[in-house]
Copies of this chain bind each other. A is one copy, B any other.
């Protein structure tokens, strides 16, 4: 007998038919003698509809406290309906709001962090042999006000429960059946992975393969919660995410593409201490996230610094640099929006120096020019022209997986 935590997203519970599909998945595990705790998001477009209602009232800035009050009603609806579906199938069940399940958070409405989970109520309901349906994404602060955990909050709720209740497994149901070596819609030979490490998953998520929310993977890693990513529409094993996975014969775990990238080059900055600090501090103050950074070797007392940002941030980044020009002289700023980032990820590459060479060779064979290179212990990222992105994704993937 195991304790299994399952999380279903909004599209999995969007209507009565899907609710019963999910209810049957849950009941099957329960019938096999397992204790089951389920985390659900708000149905389908509920959250977007609620946000639209709020924008109609106050288009500029409804208070975050009232937004949390509004949005948490979405999961309240989905948990009660799912509980009713399980009742209809004839199994004991109880729905719990975030606060009823013991989710205590800080007071950062909209992006609250979980402080602790008081598991008393959940344990009592498990002792009564009830299936528990918990509202994801939400908790309560010390003032008894409702809070939400922000984007991907339901994944985080599920992992947090699995950690607090010492669950045997935490299953995250999505509309894909697992984690792939690359985007299967773009690359024919994409393969589903049986297993992947937390770190690899984190890199892949950052790179745009957004199957799991990063915060939940970090939490799973911290508490060593074994995750499984699987489909709610097919009954087959998904991909397991855990600390150590058995070595597969391939060197890398996946190849990802990201086209939400711009490269900004600041030409002719002074080659002295503090230059990088001034530049990136001015961006950090405006909450602009910088990804890759490249600095040329200094020459004639000046150097060039290039960095990549999300494409939507490029205009603001340039504006920010223009503003500090008095204290931070440079000759010119160039911005390239027609670029893409291709990354290979794999814990195995640390001990295999040939990975980078193999990747660069594949691109060279296809006559694709590399504009920037950035490497970490388990990742190699390059910037290329955007028009070659899909081609690059295919040739790099083929180089490692065929």
Chain A residues with CB under 8 Å of chain B are 16, 19-20, 50, 53-54, 56-58, 62-63, 65-67, 69-70, 72-74, 76-77, 79-81, 83-85, 87-88, 94-95, 97, 100, 121, 144-146
Q: Once the chains bind, are A76 and B70 in contact (CB under 8 Å)? A: yes
Task: Give the most central of A65, A69, A83: most B CB within 10 Å.
Answer: A69
Tell me how far the C-beta of A58 lies from the nearest C-beta in chain B, rounded to whole angstroms.
4
Q: Once the chains bind, are B85 and A57 in contact (CB under 8 Å)? A: yes
Copies in the complex: 2
Write 16 A-B pairs (CB below 8 A) sorted by A numbering: A16-B56, A16-B57, A54-B81, A57-B81, A57-B85, A58-B84, A58-B87, A58-B88, A69-B79, A70-B76, A73-B74, A73-B77, A73-B80, A97-B146, A100-B145, A121-B144
Main DSSP-derived SS at the A contact region: helix
Taking CB as reference atom, which chain B residue is nearest A69?
B80
Task: Give the most central of A16, A50, A84: most B CB within 10 Å.
Answer: A84
A97 CA to B72 CA, complexed, in Å? 12
B-side contacts of A95, CB under 8 Å: 66, 69
A141 CA to B146 CA, complexed, in Å? 19
Q: Once the chains bind, are A80 and B66 in contact (CB under 8 Å)? A: yes
Nearest 6 CB-CB pairings of A with B: A70-B80, A69-B80, A73-B73, A73-B76, A58-B88, A62-B84
Q: Once the chains bind, are B66 and A84 in contact (CB under 8 Å)? A: yes
Taking CB as reference atom, which chain B residue is nearest A72?
B76
B-side contacts of A121, CB under 8 Å: 144
